[in-house]
Structure 1
Amino acid sequence: MRIFLYCLFFVNFVFATPISLVGKKYEDLKLKQESCPIKKVSISKHKLWLGYVQFNNGVVVALSSPKYTFAYSLQNKKEDIYKVYITDYKTGKIIDSQTAFYVFGSKIMSVGGDDIIPFSKKVDAQDFLEKQSGKKIYSIDRMTANFINYLELR
């Protein structure tokens, strides 16, 4: 019986993966965290801008903007991170950062100033770019340390 329990525990530990946050909203997560670990501002006051880093152990850390989400994820070991999520600016739903479209250079600012505005659909990003004087639409490949630092300096 003891061997069975050890095997069960081992299988559960090895194959357990965190639950996806895609499609949820901030309120669904019921996070106890109150402030952004980088900007030190209230998380609940910036719901349209939130990003999330989900670690392999299931812990979710919310950040006050996409820019700070990528900055935070770059500060942590890649192998410790399960997924990085951001909030779709149009729907307010959480989306996978890997598949999002990011509008750069618009006149809309996050709590941290110049930022990238994420969308799950390219058509929504294009519409936003045109209406808000955006400069370009980027994919996840552009979210490098140099680019994030550039946003912080603008």
Structure 2
Amino acid sequence: MKLSIKSVPARPKPGTGIYPKIMLGLFLLFSINISYGDEPTVTIKKTDRCPVCGMFVYKYPKWVAQIMFTDGSYYFYDGAKDMFKHIFDTAKYTPGKAAENIKDIYVTDYYEVELIDAKSAFYVLGSDVLGPMGHELLPFKDREAAQEFLEDHKGKSIIRFQEVTPAVIESLDRRT
């Protein structure tokens, strides 16, 4: 494109020249958080261990859960059950950290094998499917998939994130 000198005003009005527009553009560019998908990109190393049970998480990609803290630190789990144990007793498993400082929480959808937001997931309890640590909460991104799984695998109920309590988690550990 050819630019003619005549098309550019000799003295622009304050705030109307190219400099403020460039600054506004740079401000917008650096202040917008760009996301390329709903699920985070996760790289699990062979050395990543669940802070609750100590298992190497990379061995169980279908069960991975993750918590991210506001300070940028994050932890992986070999299932939603251990992730909830960490949430309920954060200081025990990660001294110096508090549940109030949790930024994001993810679980792996059982059918899709992709990370989903843990707070919007549907969890099946009491099924005949065991996770790496035994009886487990099975996460799904929608109620229909959870209901199908419940019927196919003798599940007892479907609950939401806010309904998971320490008593629910303890009941999973007591099942035989």
- Taking the aligned partners of 1:53 and 1:73, their CA distance within structure 2 comes to 9
**C-alpha deviation, 1:23, in angstroms:** 2.2
Once the two structures are superposed, residues 82-135 of structure 1 have per-residue CA deviations (whole angstroms, 9 ceiling, x without a partner) of 121111011111111111000111000011111110000111001111111111
- State how far apart, in whole Å, the 1-side matches of 2:37 and 2:84 are: 17
Deviations 1:43-91 (A, max 9, x none): 1111111111110012120001110011012222222111211110111
Q: TM-score by structure 2 length?
A: 0.70
Q: Which has the larger radius of gyration?
A: 2
Contact 2:44–2:57 under 8 Å retained in 1? no
Residue 116 of structure 2 corresponds to residue 66 of structure 1: no
What is the TM-score when the length of structure 1 is the normalising length? 0.80
Corresponding residue for residue 34 of structure 1: 48
The alignment of Structure 1 onto Structure 2 pairs a total of residues equal to 136
- Determine if the alignment matches structure 1 residue 108 to structure 2 residue 129: yes
Alignment of 1:23 onto 2:65: no
Superposed, which structure 2 residues align to 1:70-149 within 5 Å?
A: 70-76=84-90, 77-149=98-170
Q: Does the CA-based 8 Å contact 1:21-1:95 persist in structure 2? A: no
Identity of aligned residues (%): 28
Moved over 4 A (4+): 19-22
| Whole-angstrom CA distance in 2 between matches of 1:58 and 1:149 | 29
